Amino acid sequence: MKRELAETKEYLKSVLEDQSINVEQLQATNEELESSNEELQSTNEELETSKEEIDATNEELNTVNAELTDRNRELTRFHEYIEAVFDTVREPLLLLRPNLFVKQVNRSFCESFGASEKETVGRLVDEVAKGQWASADLSRLVKLLRGQSDFEDFMIDVDFPSVGRRHLKVNARSVLLPREEEPTILMALEDITSESLVHEQQQRLIRQLSAPVLPLQKQILVVPIIGPLNPERMRQVKEKLLEFVRPSRTRIVILDLTGAAIENEDEEVVKGFSDITKASKLVGTIVILTGISSGMAQKLVNLGGDRPKLTGMADLESGFDEANRILGYQRIANTDLRALREELGQAKLELGRLRKGSFH
């Protein structure tokens, strides 16, 4: 009996020890669970904070997306506005890429030069220039475009089959268009043919007025020359003189240089005087120069003005006297002329009295 009690006691003792161990394990597990729970609560709080941050970020992204959408809409409208302006401008316009490929042309360009957008866009300017654009001026323009993209008032003359020869003024600018990373060359062409014709007519009128041909008396012409003398001007004077001398059978031409000046001391001016003298001599006309200042005389000598053997007089009156001497005319002063008229009147009266006496 004692032995069984002892065994039972031992058994109970082992059971109690096991329970104590289990209780300790349960307590440790509970502590771990409590720690895990705290960690889960902390994680949950972090997740909630992250969710709030994500929600805030999402709202910011939505705002940015709305702003980008509005900005994209504005850029689209601005691009459409630029396209409308580009296509509405009356001047012919081209858009060139940095490598000088034609990117776009407006309607005025196609209408003005008889070219379609399909056959122009995507080609090099050199290739476009091989057709009706081909000219030395355009070749210089292409070289200028390759060297610099910004310039103004570059003049070129181009012959077009449909409209003939046109005088164009070219301007170019480098611009950065919306949604473009590389700059674009905007080239504008202005047809100033009419303005050039008006300018040429004005210059022609000025030249005519600055060297008028005035018949002074029978067989004598006076040409007062005003302004600078250059080779082109001398050629024009020669052509104008020959045009008047031939039909009028002029024998003396007086070139009055009182209001003229030699431009840039060009030797061709002296040659121009020589050509006028020689050409006039061939048609039987003598040229007399008047109004030569001391400064102009010195320039003519320095430039070889002694070679053409020019006849020069101090002023227009002296030149007129020399012309009359060459023609064999005698110039009569006004006082002498009045006296001659009085003598002629008296002679007429005497002749009348004689006639009356003969009838009686």
Q: What pLDDT was estimated at residue 335?
A: 57
Q: What pLDDT was estimated at residue 324?
A: 85
- Say if CB 190 and CB 153 are below 8 A apart: no
The H-assigned helical ranges of the chain are 2-88, 107-113, 117-120, 125-129, 136-147, 193-210, 231-248, 267-282, 294-302, 316-327, 334-359
Is the pTM for the entire model greater than 0.85?
no
If you write DSSP's letter for every residue of 120-159 in order, what string do you get? Answer: HTTSBHHHHHTTTT--HHHHHHHHHHHH-S-EEEEEEEEE
Q: What pLDDT was estimated at residue 149?
A: 65
d(CA 75, CA 79): 6
Q: What pLDDT was estimated at residue 127?
A: 67
d(CA 277, CA 300): 15
Q: What pLDDT was estimated at residue 208?
A: 55
If you write DSSP's letter for every residue of 205-218 in order, what string do you get? Answer: HHHHHHS--EEEET
Q: What pLDDT was estimated at residue 239?
A: 84
Reduced to 3 states (helix: H, G, I; strand: E, B; else coil), residue 194 is helix
Walk along the chain (360 residues) and give the pLDDT tens digit of each residue: 777 777 777 777 787 777 888 888 888 888 888 888 888 888 888 888 888 889 889 999 999 999 988 888 887 887 777 777 777 788 888 888 888 888 888 888 888 777 778 878 888 776 664 455 555 566 667 677 766 667 888 887 766 655 666 778 888 888 777 667 788 888 888 877 766 565 566 566 555 555 677 787 788 888 888 778 888 888 888 888 888 887 878 889 888 888 787 776 667 788 888 888 888 888 888 999 888 887 777 777 776 644 446 778 888 888 888 888 888 876 655 555 566 567 666 766 766 666 565 545
Q: What pLDDT was estimated at residue 352?
A: 65
- Say if CB 272 and CB 307 are below 8 A apart: no
Q: What pLDDT was estimated at residue 261?
A: 79
Q: Which domains does the chain have, with CATH numbers?
A: 87-192 (3.30.450.20), 210-333 (3.30.750.24)
d(CA 77, CA 119): 28
User: Which helix (H) or strand (E) segment is 223 a member of?
Assistant: strand 220-229
